[in-house]
Structure 1
Amino acid sequence: MSAGDRAPAAELGLLDATMIGMGAMIGAGIFVLTGLAADIAGPAAILVFMFNGVVTAFTGLSYAELAASIPKSGGGYAFVRETFDDLPSFLMGWMLWFAYMIAGGLYALGFAPNFLELLHVYGLTAAPGEVGAVAVPAVPVSIPASVGLALAAVGLLVTVNAVSTAASGSAETLFTAVKVAILVVFVAFGFLSAGGGGETSFTLQQFDPLFPEGTSAFAILPAMGLTFIAFEGYDLITTVTEEVENPRENIPRAIFYSLGATVVVYALVVVVAIGTLGADGLAAAGEAGIAKAATSFMPSGLPIIRNGGALIVFGAVFSTLTALNAVVIASSRVAFSMGREGQLLPRFGRIHHRYGTPFVAILVSAVVMLGSVVLPTESAGNVSSLFFLLSFVVVNAAVIKLRRERPNMRRPYEMPYYPIPSVLGIALNLLLTGVLVVYLVRTDPLALALSVGWILAGVLAYYALRARGEGSTPERRGASDAEPSGADAPTDTSNAEGGVD
């Protein structure tokens, strides 16, 4: 077996895998989306995040069962590839690849203003809105400082990922631990401010009534659809399955640990933010809402971190970096898996002979990610949410199809009360998809146009690769091991050769 065809090395432990999921979920969304949810649903924003956690849990059970049964890198694409025909599986990978890449562009753009604000807090730069363009060396052009920082962040993390899987995993673990610690401090100070008597002290009276006059309980649904991306991230764990030690056990555990911890963190942060500022105040503050709440109840003059607002900005920098690093990992592994299966050019599916990483897949994914920073932020986020919802529907369907066609397949983890979680996952994700599409028709037709355009481009790419003879795929294990007798399918391909010639 050549160096380019070797399998990825298992260099990530359970903690690393868990932190990849948490790093993606507890990203910029906790700062940006809380205000959006409060604006739409009022104090019931707390229900928005809790219900999204429940909806996500149903699909999380499907991911856990499939990851334990099919320990292959590529996430949802790898599962659908094992279960469905060529074109549906290609489109699944094509959508996920794009969703991860443009999510990376969003996280990079979110990192820039937070980093500039952090520098401003310490008097090193002017306020983010006052920082001008930066001249590019050796080229007679200038670019906005925010764009330059976004490009630099992507470049740095892509370099780390390209040269070492272990280094990227360690960075994700460290950064995620830091930001979770910051949010725990925020929640603790918020609850301690209760009973202080000040205008910005925490009080549960801000939630009474939960649905103020003029706010309908149905407002929860569009708020759920628009903030669902906040819980996209546990699925990233399954994109690195072959790089995790003992994946049949550790991947399901990492999914449950990361999802459970994230739901708790989101719920506590939203409760403190609304309990301090009120739903209207949080909505009016927008992206600065969490920082405003922290400034109101945390002491000033703290060592190194000057005040609560500065602490939250510090946390936002780490949040965007961990989320960005997670999608750099995920997008490249989807492309790697597609290349190895023959559904992208073969070089995508090869491991670098020196670094032991899917080098080409990482670099190409980075190029698209860098290009996506020019997309309108809101539209790019909506496309990501739509594609993730659609992919979750298909993954839930894959569990049902695989159970019917291969009942005796080895399943180290089986979801409880099958098929109820998968059916509920399909129904609820379809409901949110429909609500989101209706909302986008009215408010963001560009997002729908981008979504349709990317899918059509995928169909063209699929048939173009087949016409060139590079889209003919190796025989899939799912087709070869589904004996009429229902024998246990030998799907443990964690040590399978990667690469297609």
Structure 2
Amino acid sequence: MIFDRVKPLDAILATAEKKGLQRTLGAFQLTMLGIGAIIGTGIFVLTSEAAQKAGPGMMISFLIAAAVCAVAALCYAELASMVPVSGSAYTYTYAVMGELLAWMVGWALILEYAVAASAVSVGWSGYFVGLLASWGIVLPDALVMGPYAGGIMNLPALLIALLITCLLMIGTTESARVNAVLVAIKVTALTVFIVLTLPVIKGANFEPFTPNGWFGAGHGAGLGIVGAAASIFFAYVGFDAVSTAAEETKNPQKNVPIGLIGSLGICTIFYLLVAAGAIGAMGSQPVNGPAGEILAPGTPALAAQCQSLLAMGQEPLVCSREALAHVLREIGHERLGDMIGIAAFLALPSVILIMLFGQTRIFFVMARDGLLPEFLSKIHPKWKTPHIVTMITGSVVAVFAAFLPVGQLADISNSGTLFAFFMVAIAVLILRRKQPERHRPFRTPMVWIVAPLAIFGTLGLYLNLPTEAKLVLPVWGSIGLVVYFLYSRGKSHVGRGIIDVHEDDPDAPPQPVPPIRD
């Protein structure tokens, strides 16, 4: 049987009990945690990508993506409160649906964390280059753009990814105080943008509201309002940081949903106001090809068309690599546009760090379970970090960032994230049927409505990703299956009758598998 290897939930919970975490977080702290994790490249950079796909209709795209995230978050919170240990959706799936599906989720999470880190690196590069240009320092296109835009490589994106990797290897982490400062910087930057753009909104800039229709007007998946929602979903990734803090939350039944929905709600309001300001102040109509055809973001055709417009002294919103700063400069706030660029310059590296840290943590847990080579879980004797897996992961992230556009990376990342959330929603329903009596510090409300909505919502957004991004997931998944059956299944600790403790107690020896409780 290939679905018979379930990592006993009792064993995982026993590990969690060893941690002895204090319940100190309230609703406000959880909400701030969520806002800090959510606001990043999505709003600072992908606004231009969404505008090319949906025009002013991207405001509806933000609402659709937020709604899917909300129902997925409620499912995530229940499992996080029951299984409050490292490993994210991988661990939850292992406890509920077995090793094979857990492996597939862990394999898909590579697309979420590692590729997302690459996307944020590219987004940071756009603001860095724009900031230098506003100060009269112009870097050659060959070194700041990948082959998709006629360059050689995106050197700033490569370097920032490698720098963050080095910091993680030597043990640099963010403190709560640093995170609070970065949240303040990001929120202040968005607030300044909203205050300056809303008074100069022009109603004419909202027409036509849906230039590419809801589904790309017959021009293929990935375009239109729903296609933009599938991409802009990236702007909300990170809310699961709230659910994973359930074990440290006072009154989680009340405060976890407040933190989840509160952070999503606040970010959605910010996003809608920012989108309205960008659209109304400058316009956000898509750039079409010479024959009037719809051009997809991140393609050589769009890059060429943008270069032609730039040669004529025009740079529409959809052509900018630093969307929000560009809007402020266009409406006469040159220096404040620079301030937005500085805010992104300072804040986005923290998102890269969080994504890389999350990826190495997933790899680390999988290596401890025997599903990946165990040398990946080695701890550096001085730095006390999993330096080998961090170095390998960071190097791959840097290469992706150097050669691929931010929109394409975000779409690929979304495919893995949507699959993981899809599996979490299914796991909640299975566990409700199999073990209804088990204690749940937080219970998903109206689970037989909310979980199916999450299942169909994530599936719907996945189907509206660009074709290339949709194909990445099954191809990547097929590679994962080959790796699993050729290596991981035979090396699995659960398959060999042992179960490893998690990284919280790295010196403890492997333990025998306890009997599975029905």
Q: TM-score range by the shorter chain?
A: 0.7 to 0.9
Give yes or no for contact 1:187–1:272 (8 Å, CA) kept in 2.
yes
TM-score by length of 2: 0.75
Quote the Cα distance in structure 2 between the aligned partners of 1:473 and 1:496: 22
- Counterpart pick for 1:433 among 458, 462, 466: 462
Q: 2:308 is matched with which residue?
A: none
Q: 1:304 is matched with which residue?
A: none
- Cα RMSD over matched residues? 3.8
Q: 1:138 is matched with which residue?
A: none
Q: 2:436 is matched with which residue?
A: 407
Q: 2:475 is matched with which residue?
A: 453
Q: Which is worse superposed, 319-328 or 276-285? A: 276-285
1:11 deviation in Å? 11
1:211 deviation in Å? 4.0
What SS does the aligned partner of 1:279 have?
Answer: coil
Quote the Cα distance in structure 2 between the aligned partners of 1:349 and 1:252: 34
Q: 1:383 is matched with which residue?
A: 412
1:105 deviation in Å? 1.7
Q: 1:291 is matched with which residue?
A: 325
TM-score by length of 1: 0.77
Q: 1:309 is matched with which residue?
A: 337
Name structure 2 gaps, 5 residues minimum: 1-14, 146-150, 217-223, 287-315, 511-518
Q: Percent identity?
A: 26
Which amino acid letter does the alignment assign opposite residue 360 of structure 2?
A: S
Please say if 1:84 is aligned against 2:97. Answer: yes
Closer/same/farther in 2, CA of residues 44 and 474 from structure 1, 3 Å limit: farther
Closer/same/farther in 2, CA of residues 225 and 299 from structure 1, 3 Å limit: closer
Give yes or no for contact 1:349–1:500 (8 Å, CA) kept in 2.
no
Q: 1:485 is matched with which residue?
A: none
1:151 deviation in Å? 3.3
Give yes or no for contact 1:113–1:146 (8 Å, CA) kept in 2.
no
Give yes or no for contact 2:118–2:400 (8 Å, CA) kept in 1.
yes
1:298 deviation in Å? 5.8
Q: Which is worse superposed, 362-371 or 56-65? A: 362-371
Closer/same/farther in 2, CA of residues 13 and 160 from structure 1, 3 Å limit: farther
Q: 1:373 is matched with which residue?
A: 401
What SS does the aligned partner of 2:285 have?
Answer: helix
What SS does the aligned partner of 1:280 have?
Answer: coil
Quote the Cα distance in structure 2 between the aligned partners of 1:110 and 1:290: 12
Give yes or no for contact 1:58–1:425 (8 Å, CA) kept in 2.
yes
1:430 deviation in Å? 1.0
Name structure 1 gaps, 5 residues minimum: 134-142, 195-200, 301-306, 478-491
The number of residues matched between the two structures is 448
Q: 1:126 is matched with which residue?
A: 138
Give yes or no for contact 1:162–1:357 (8 Å, CA) kept in 2.
yes
Closer/same/farther in 2, CA of residues 216 and 299 from structure 1, 3 Å limit: closer
Q: 1:41 is matched with which residue?
A: 54
Please say if 1:343 is aligned against 2:365. Answer: no
Quote the Cα distance in structure 2 between the aligned partners of 1:16 and 1:267: 23
Closer/same/farther in 2, CA of residues 351 and 404 from structure 1, 3 Å limit: farther
Closer/same/farther in 2, CA of residues 313 and 470 from structure 1, 3 Å limit: same
Give yes or no for contact 2:90–2:105 (8 Å, CA) kept in 1.
yes
Quote the Cα distance in structure 1 between the aligned partners of 2:403 and 2:144: 21
Q: Superposed, which structure 2 residues align to 1:43-442 within 5 Å?
A: 43-123=56-136, 125-127=137-139, 129=141, 146-147=154-155, 149-164=156-171, 166-167=173-174, 171-191=178-198, 194=199, 201-204=200-203, 206-207=205-206, 210-211=209-210, 215-216=213-214, 219-236=224-241, 245-246=248-249, 249=252, 254-280=259-285, 283-297=317-331, 299=333, 307-349=335-377, 355-377=383-405, 378-436=407-465, 439-440=466-467
What SS does the aligned partner of 2:371 have?
Answer: coil
1:450 deviation in Å? 4.0
What SS does the aligned partner of 1:167 have?
Answer: coil
Quote the Cα distance in structure 2 between the aligned partners of 1:453 and 1:500: 37
Give yes or no for contact 1:292–1:309 (8 Å, CA) kept in 2.
yes
1:71 deviation in Å? 0.2
Quote the Cα distance in structure 2 between the aligned partners of 1:476 and 1:221: 46
What SS does the aligned partner of 1:410 have?
Answer: coil
Quote the Cα distance in structure 1 between the aligned partners of 2:455 and 2:242: 21
Quote the Cα distance in structure 1 between the aligned partners of 2:507 and 2:64: 39
What SS does the aligned partner of 2:438 have?
Answer: coil
Which amino acid letter does the alignment assign opposite residue 67 of structure 1?
A: A
